[in-house]
Structure 1
């Protein structure tokens, strides 16, 4: 999932450089959402491991 976040972030940066602001904003928003989903799943995984011991 972090891979998709990086891909959308790169797409957003490239689109911003070439002036495609709409595409850039959309890709950046998708990257941000995926990052937060990844982060929440990571924290849940850590808490689950701590409670499992």
Structure 2
């Protein structure tokens, strides 16, 4: 019986690890998207400023 418990625990830890990896990947993608958006906004602001000078 303990062998089955060990196996179940092992499977659970693998699933938890996969879930954490997916979350990290998703958060990284979101951070990249936000960074690109911020870079575009900064570029737009510089262009507007350059036109007004």
TM-score between the two structures when normalised by the length of structure 2: 0.63
Q: Kindly tell me the number of residue pairs found equivalent between the two proteins.
A: 35
Structure 1 or 2: more helix by fraction:
2
Moved over 4 A (4+): none
Structure with max Cα Rg: 2
TM-score between the two structures when normalised by the length of structure 1: 0.63
Greater relative contact order, per chain length (Cα 8 Å cut-off, separation 6+):
1
Give RMSD over aligned pairs: 0.8
Structure 2: which 5+ residue stretches go unaligned? 1-12
Structure 1: which 5+ residue stretches go unaligned? 1-18
- Tell me if 1:51 matches 2:12: no
